[in-house]
Amino acid sequence: MDEPTATFSFWGLTFNWTTVISTLLTMVIVTLIAVGLTRKLSVRPNKGQNAMEYMLDFTTGIIGGQLPRKMARQFGLFAFTLFFFLIVSNELGLFLQVKMSSGVTYLKSPTAEPVVAMTLGLMSLVIAHGMGVKSLGFGGYLNNMLLKPYAWMLPLNIIEQLANFLTLSLRLFGNIFAGEMLLNLIAENLAWPGHFNGFVTILALPLEMVWQGFSLFIGGIQAYVFVILTGVFIAQLSGNE
């Protein structure tokens, strides 16, 4: 967490180059894959169109398990976009990292940055709270969120709303950050020829591959869990749990 960073200022705000570059690259990858797979839509779908339709059905099924059918269709495209972005974000740093001699990492998984994970968590919860207001009205939304099941639970309900934000975002950040950090430790401390002999370097390679495969699995699971919890929060705050 205390690794060197490179920043720049824009309109009085300070931005981290790692966050900006990694997030923009993820957006480009997601856009290119989506456009590439759906470039030639037809009644008789090709392999690319089948893949996109399968993923859309999959994410709609995730959100559909938490929400009524009509609301699930309404949020189907959002769930698909969120899941797609998270998958690419979580896995990017496992295949591509750019670290300069100064020690600054300019490219890694965006979700290994706390500001990105917290922004995604905040976005999902804002949508959930907004849906609560739309479904129940402002008074009904406040009553459902703060005074149920009992009015005396108001302090606990307030803490719960804060905890929802922290658990949603920090779970994502912690898992992706820990996976990349351990992968880097294996590469730097075991597979570095200047530190150990060739035998240890060879042994480090399968260890790295195993951990990379495990991290791929964890990245997919975290994207899945994030979308499920987003659906759960939308259902809770709109009175559909």
**What 3-state class would DSSP assign to 104?**
coil
Q: What is the distance between the alpha carbons of residues 241 and 61, in angstroms, rounded to a whole number?
A: 16
Higher pLDDT among residues 9 and 1, named by residue: 9
Q: Can you give the pLDDT at residue 195?
A: 47
Q: Can you give the pLDDT at residue 224?
A: 93
C-alpha pair distances (Å), 190 with each of 113, 159, 181, 182? 25, 44, 14, 11
Mean of the pLDDT values across residues 29-34?
90
Amino acid at residue number 214: F
Q: What tens digit of pLDDT does each residue of 130-143 get?
A: 998 998 888 888 88
Query: CA angle 219-225-230, nearest 5°?
Result: 130
Q: Give residues with Cβ within 8 angstroms of 180, minimum separation 6.
A: 93, 94, 97, 108, 109, 112, 215
Under a CB-based contact definition with an 8 Å cutoff, are residues 90 and 219 in contact? yes
**On the CB side of 205, how many CA atoms lie within 13 Å of its CA?**
5
pLDDT tops 50 at residue 27: yes
Q: What tens digit of pLDDT does each residue of 45-83 get?
A: 777 778 888 888 888 888 888 888 888 888 888 899 999
Report the range out of 25-29, 54-58, 207-211 with the highest average pLDDT: 25-29
Q: Can you give the pLDDT at residue 41?
A: 67
Share of the chain above pLDDT 90, in %: 23
